[in-house]
A and B are shown apart, each in its own frame.
Chain A
Amino acid sequence: MIFFRTLFKTKGEAISFAVFVALIAIILPLALPIFRLNLVGKYLSYGFVAIGLVLLWGRCGILSLGQGVFFGLGGYCMAMFLKLEASDPVSTSIQTTPGIPDFMDWNQITQLPWFWEPFKSFTFASCAVFLLPGLIAFIIGWAMFRRRVGGVYFAIITQAIALILSLGIDGNQGFTGGRNGITDLKTLLGWDIRTTGAQYTLYFLCVFLLLASALLAKYIINTRFGRVLMAMRDREDRVRFSGYDVAMCRTFVFALAAMLSGLGGALFVLQVGFMSPSLVGIIPSIEMVIFTAVGGRLSVIGAILGCLIVNFGKTAFSEAYPDAWLYLMGGTFIAVVMFFPDGLAGIIEKSGTIKTKLVTLGAGLMKKLKPAESAEKASAAVAEIPKTAEP
């Protein structure tokens, strides 16, 4: 029970989490055909990045514009393993050098590069999916937070790192698959990941891991550590003078966010079946910040829903009106940042008072139409609302 209280501070929080679980684990799989569900799974894999950003940006006040780097690293680790499995000597026998990925063969590489070797092992690859992003984030974070770099500087430097990695992958076609990325992924340990059954299994795996990550994030937010993070965000000096190691705390959160992003990248590869530098660079990194901002940078569930809403909007809208989409997205983003800095989740949280007003208004209208009885009901509703809606 104590543990439960740490995860959900109020009944409302627990209910909204349950509704969210029902939505992504029951309603969407039943309501959508597998093609659409696969898209949802793809968007949910961005949700891992969003969870990381809620911890890092919402709770720590550190904006990273390079989360695509970690998403990409995780994705590439998984894609390299799958690619090696797909390029066994039999199915690549038409190549000059059978047994190596096709794009290496096209680039006159005759031997598997040394850094590809360990990715033959599934254990290594699946550990690297989150350990590699975590390690790199730890090094970057430690180097920068120890020198008290933060705010805008951190954002610019992480953005430059995103540019470096995407250019680096793009420019080394023989080793990385270049701009096309790593494609034609077929099986995972002999299990075909392209069948409908596999796609359902992978979707539920993604949902399960996402919910586990969301609970972990909620747990961190609601513990003492989470409160220290917030204190650091709002009054860094005081926390430092109280004896907390600010740099270490921030590095930890940055590395954790990177590990979550890496996991998301791996699940993206499993569900979508490819990985390319277009998911690593500046634009995807900043888009993930947008998802988080629209959903609500303080709310774990809000941020995941932000991923779903913005991406569905993008799919629906950009097919019909490709020109208007960028206006809408840019406009939405400016509006969210200027007027609703806490995103949708913030609007919903604040709407407790709006709801009361609406109900009062409704009660007034009802009274005119149908006196006595309905007004009583409405005022009962007014009395009921603050209890459930208060955070």
Chain B
Amino acid sequence: MESYSWEDLQNIFLMQGFAGISLFSVLLLMGLGLAVIFGQMGVINMAHGEFMALGAYTVYLCSTLTAEYAPSFGPYYFVVAIFIAFIICALVGAAVEWLMIRRLYHRPLDTLLATWGLSLIMQQTFRSTFGAREVTPTLPEWLMGSYSPKEGLDIPINGMFVLGLAIAVSLALLLFMYKSSFGLRLRATVQNRKMSGAVGINTNSVDRLAFALGCGIAGIAGAAFTTIGSTGPDSGSRYIVDAFLVVVFGGAASLMGSLASAFGIAQAQSILEFFLEGTKGKVATLLVIVVALMIRPQGLFPSKVRAH
């Protein structure tokens, strides 16, 4: 590293830091969705990546339909598409919960396997519907380009937009969890399922809503993902391990933990990728996290609720 001057290093860190922000936003959104589902019922949703891809494909579909039928709506469709992606993923998630997950709550490891089977089916559905080639929605003009406050420093606008989206979703989720009556019921169910049932909370519907919510957030992650990469049938599965590590490393069920670990993982990957060629940056990041998890399995921000 001796060949870089201090000035260079500063710029590299800034540039890669901003590049990492897009990755951070996607990982954070993925992680938030997983944290809701995992924190709620200890269920690991292996199809979470496919829900992200579903969201991305929804945005693509919206983009194609807009271009076809309402070209004048072009500049604004993206905002609407994010909502549609959320709703579609949440609906599919609720259906999956009703058909499959609710029968497996007492066997968390089996849920993991069953949702993997689901992810195979979803991937093949994407492949049959949209083809094996990667697709990209046409992004509105205002998302393109970059903003340069000084020489040698470009901040991509889409990165900023995605960051704003991720922060907005995180805040909305926090408000939802801590201020709404549903959030209260959800937290009650996580803390003590039997007692919550006894005081009249319908824990089954809380489970379904939580699962749908998590999947919906994955859909928003998919919408964010379309601004930084093109979507293929297996796009989701490429992020799934990172998303799991975000949740586990952050401390399950801790939203703050997910935030901190998503930031750490994304920035480490992004900065290391500059100095180490190829996938070595990613390997190094993953290795550090796995070793850290072996030493401190409860993660960064362990929840104070004892696991049942």
Instruction: List B residues 241-280 near A (Cβ within 8 Å).
Output: 241, 244-245, 248, 278-280
CB of B114 within 8 A of CB of A333, answer yes
Q: Chain B 296-308 against A: per-residue CB contact (8 Å), 1 yes, 0 no?
A: 0100000000000
Of A61, A151, A163, A323, chain B has the most CB atoms within 10 Å of the CB of A163
For B103, the chain A residues whose CB sits under 8 A away are 338
Query: If A167-B282, A293-B113, A333-B114 touch, does A327 touch B293 (CB 8 Å cutoff)?
Result: no
Q: Which residue of A lies closest to B298 (CB)?
A: A147
Instruction: List B residues 68-118 near A (Cβ within 8 Å).
Output: 100, 103-104, 107-110, 112-114, 116-118
A198 within 8 A of B: no
A215 within 8 A of B: no
B42, B118, B121, B245: the one contacting A156 at CB < 8 Å is B245
Q: Which residue of B lies closest to A163 (CB)?
A: B241
B158 within 8 A of A: no
For A337, the chain B residues whose CB sits under 8 A away are 104, 110, 113-114, 117
CB of B112 within 8 A of CB of A323, answer no
| Count, chain B residues at interface, CB 8 A | 41
CB of A164 within 8 A of CB of B109, answer no
For residue B275, give the distance in angstroms from its CB to the closest CB of chain A: 14
User: Of B9-17, B53-61, B178-186, B283-291, which binds chain A?
Assistant: B283-291
Number of A-B contacts (CB under 8 A): 110
Of A63, A171, A327, chain B has the most CB atoms within 10 Å of the CB of A171
Q: Which residue of B lies closest to A65 (CB)?
A: B112
Q: How many Å lie between the Cα of A152 and that of B44 in the bound state?
A: 7
For residue B21, give the distance in angstroms from its CB to the closest CB of chain A: 23
| Count, chain A residues at interface, CB 8 A | 40
Q: Is the interface of B mostly helix, strand, loop or mixed?
A: helix
Instruction: List B residues 107-140 near A (Cβ within 8 Å).
Output: 107-110, 112-114, 116-121, 123-124, 127-128
CB of B110 within 8 A of CB of A333, answer no
For B245, the chain A residues whose CB sits under 8 A away are 156, 160
Q: How many Å lie between the Cα of A157 and that of B241 in the bound state?
A: 9
Q: Is the interface of A mostly helix, strand, loop or mixed?
A: helix
CB of B290 within 8 A of CB of A326, answer no
For residue A308, give the distance in angstroms from its CB to the closest CB of chain B: 20
CB of A153 within 8 A of CB of B114, answer no
B199 within 8 A of A: no
Q: Which residue of A lies closest to B46 (CB)?
A: A286
CB of B286 within 8 A of CB of A160, answer yes
For B116, the chain A residues whose CB sits under 8 A away are 286, 333
B44, B109, B124: the one contacting A326 at CB < 8 Å is B124
B104, B113, B286: the one contacting A163 at CB < 8 Å is B286
Query: If A155-B109, A338-B104 touch, does A147 touch B117 (CB 8 Å cutoff)?
Result: no
Q: Chain A 280-304 against B: per-residue CB contact (8 Å), 1 yes, 0 no?
A: 0010001001100100000000000
Given contacts A286-B116, A329-B117, A338-B103, 12 further A-B contacts (CB under 8 A): A152-B44, A153-B293, A153-B297, A157-B293, A159-B241, A163-B286, A164-B287, A164-B290, A330-B120, A330-B121, A333-B116, A333-B117
Interchain Cβ contacts under 8 Å between A and B, 14 examples: A152-B108, A153-B297, A155-B44, A160-B289, A164-B286, A168-B279, A171-B280, A293-B113, A326-B120, A329-B117, A331-B121, A338-B103, A338-B104, A338-B110
